[in-house]
């Protein structure tokens, strides 16, 4: 019984970190779907696999370094700072890919899966590298 009481002492911190990280995730998704020139959620509702792959990879590409920031942070402000850095990095990935492959912003809405997979994969790969670089 002592173990449970000891363990449950961490519940308030868990809830604060969970709520904060979910808020950062929601903020990221809102910004991302706002900056893209196409409507991901509408496309996904229509069954557009390219949009689903792109957005899914991008969300995971943000969530991985955010989770790493939660695990390594010394306090909530530290986690939030590194979460915001991860957010900026993912937005930069989108801007870089759309500059390197200018047609990708037209290809995803038209349902071309390969460009959607590429954008999602590059976002995911960058997120993994971003998380690894957070081992400061």
Q: Which alpha helices (DSSP H) does 40-112 contain, by range?
A: 40-45, 49-72, 76-100, 104-107
CB 111 within 8 A of CB 47: no
The reply to whether the predicted model has a pTM over 0.85 is: yes
pLDDT at residue 136, as a whole number: 62
Return d(Cα 78, Cα 89) in angstroms, integer.
17
* All residues at 6 or more sequence positions from 71 whose CB lies less than 8 Å from its CB, including other chains: none
Which band of pLDDT confidence, cut at 50, 70 and 90, is reported for residue 7?
Answer: confident
pLDDT in the model for residue 10: 84
User: Where in the chain are the domains?
Assistant: 14-133
Q: In this predicted model, what pLDDT tens digit does every residue of 47-103 receive, in sequence order?
A: 999 999 999 999 999 999 999 999 999 999 999 999 999 999 999 999 999 999 999
Residue 54: what are its φ and ψ, rounded to 5°?
A: -65, -50
- Mean pLDDT of the 96-112 span: 95
Q: What is the Cα–Cα distance from 129 to 15, expressed in whole angstroms?
A: 27
Instruction: For residue range 16-38, list pLDDT tens digits in order.
Output: 999 999 999 999 999 999 999 99
Mean pLDDT, rounded, for 95-119 = 95
Provide the pLDDT for residue 2. 76
């Amino acid at each position: 019984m002592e173990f449970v009481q000891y363990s449950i002492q961490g519940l308030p911190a868990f809830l604060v970190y969970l709520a904060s990280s979910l808020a950062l995730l929601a903020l990221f998704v809102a910004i991302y779907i706002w900056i893209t020139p196409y409507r991901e959620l509408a496309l996904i509702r229509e069954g557009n696999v390219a949009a689903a792959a792109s957005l899914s990879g991008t969300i995971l590409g943000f969530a991985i370094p955010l989770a790493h920031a939660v695990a390594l942070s010394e306090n909530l402000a530290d986690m939030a700072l590194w979460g915001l850095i991860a957010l900026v990095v993912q937005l930069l990935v989108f801007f870089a890919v759309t500059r390197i492959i200018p047609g990708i912003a037209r290809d995803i809405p038209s349902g071309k899966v390969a460009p959607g997979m590429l954008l999602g994969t590059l976002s995911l790969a960058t997120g993994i590298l971003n998380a690894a670089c957070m081992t400061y």
